[in-house]
Amino acid sequence: MKFIGFLVFLFTLQSLANSANLTEQKLYRRCYMQLVQAPIPLKDPTFTQIKAGQLKAIDACMNLLNEATLDNQGLIKNSNSAVGSVPQKVLRTFFEFHNTWFSANAMNQIQDYNEELNRGSTDVYDAHEQSYFLTRALFGNSRFSDILKGTERLKAVRVEDFARTRSIIGRDWATRAPSRTTLGENGYWDLNTILFQSMNGTHTGNAEARPAEDFVRAPLVAVGALVGIQPNTDGFMVRNLSLEPLGAFRPGSSEPSLEYSYNFFRNHGGGIIGLPSYFLMNYGHGRGLKSNGTTKLPRRWIKSVMETFMCATLPTLRENDIQNLVVANSATPFRKSASCVQCHATMDQAAGVARNLTTGSSAYFVIDSGSNQERVLSKTPIMLAQYRQEKASVAEWIHVDDLEFHIKKSTGKFLTRLFNGELLDRNISSIDELGNVITQTQDFYTCAAKRYFEFFTGIQVPLYDKKDPRYAEMNRFLTTEHIKNREFVESLGAELQRDQSLKNLVKRIIASDYYRSEEF
């Protein structure tokens, strides 16, 4: 019995040790490893101060985070020689973390994307532009809600990283070769000449001579190590486009109501969700589609927006929310079923604000012959185009195909249940209004808090409408710990909504008992 008592005593001591908080030194080691993705250097002066009791770990961690603060030009300090520095590593850590928010973050994820037909798309679109908004919200002076507002575009500032080299034809493969961050456009392999569909309306093939005005030099996406994020005012005018490069000849200039000449890079509002790259990667349809209000809508885009920025898993509506939207005799199959309408009532109605958008390619063919080297290497990227809003739209959710839906006013409705059980029912008339409505919900901030909390602690917190009868069984199995975790994440979200500061969010997590616990 004495031996058993002794074992119990040892177990108790071990449990107490496991539940103890980290020392100041261990706490700093933890945050340094997470923020810099590297161990603390020997004789680190900050660590020496912490050991001497001259500096608190939480303050040292925030100083480390502040190392990557962007200045008025959108650059980290000493940006010209920053590769491999602590500020550059911290910036990269959070840029890569923010990339994980998006299920689509590569141009080849675009529906019907084809590298042969759409070569050059990765040279004009930066698939990580969406992540720059989040990263700037952390290290810049913008409010968190700004990521879903307005028509601004952002670009990365990058410098040559010789630790990551690329080989160039004609060079020794073992030699470090400078990329276009050093060469600019002096090398023919980096010319960024876009071929646009001819305006004369003829079917143009590879062997046909093309006028000089069909070729336009476009800005190149930056490559190299990330050292800053700046507003992007680059642009160039689209001359024309081809809507069906694999189908019937359909140039944009012959398409009724299509805006076939516009700024290639224009943002359609709502910050991230209106970026051409974001929309293309989440559109979910092939080239030249015309929305009809029923079967043809950018619903995958809405689904992505809700998953990324509200941590919402469809269906969010309850069955009694949508009974009046079920149409038993509808020609649209999913409108007959309540279980289908629970998802479609959210996706389809909100997707109405993007009804005017469609996709195409800059031209039908790539020029692969001729004497002009630049033209031989011209590119035909995939593109986002827009129909003019020429007709009035109806307020109700239609269930019969409307062949003019794509040229009507971009009205819609955002209908969903929030985490607190509240029914959100808002009329919207643009992508920008959709973004604004989302930023007015606490779910938007709680979702961000959940992602940051999991990044720092590894603890996953499910977010859902606890009052929904569908989750009654799940609620029964929630432990005290589960409830406590969610309440903490919700409190973080409420504070983020109040002060709009991601840095303060990070500080609250690092200062919490969760982060200080050895049971990490």
DSSP state of 300: H
Rounded distance between C-alpha atoms, residue 297 and residue 351, angstroms: 6
Q: Mean pLDDT for the chain?
A: 88
Q: What pTM was estimated for this model as a whole?
A: 0.91
> Does the pLDDT value for residue 172 go beyond 70?
no
Rounded distance between C-alpha atoms, residue 362 and residue 242, angstroms: 6
User: Which residues does 344 contact at the CB level (< 8 Å), separation at least 6?
Assistant: 299, 334, 335
Rounded distance between C-alpha atoms, residue 516 and residue 175, angstroms: 46
What is the per-residue pLDDT across 350-394, written as a single tens digit (0 to 9) for each? 999 999 999 999 987 766 555 577 777 788 999 999 999 999 999
> Does the pLDDT value for residue 87 go beyond 90?
yes
- pLDDT of amino acid 389: 97
> Does the pLDDT value for residue 149 go beyond 90?
yes
Looking at mean pLDDT, say which of 163-177, 231-245, 426-440 comes out highest.
Answer: 426-440
How many CB atoms within 10 Å of residue 11?
10
User: Which residues does 255 contact at the CB level (< 8 Å), separation at least 6?
Assistant: 243
Residue 402's pLDDT band (boundaries 50, 70, 90)? very high
Domain ranges of the chain: 21-66, 86-440, 441-520
Tokens of 163: 């630790």
- CA pseudo-torsion sign 181, 182, 184, 190: negative
What is the per-residue pLDDT across 312-339, written as a single tens digit (0 to 9) for each? 999 999 999 999 999 999 999 999 999 9
> Does the pLDDT value for residue 164 go beyond 60?
no
Q: Which of 117-131, 427-441, 492-506 has the lowest mean pLDDT?
A: 117-131
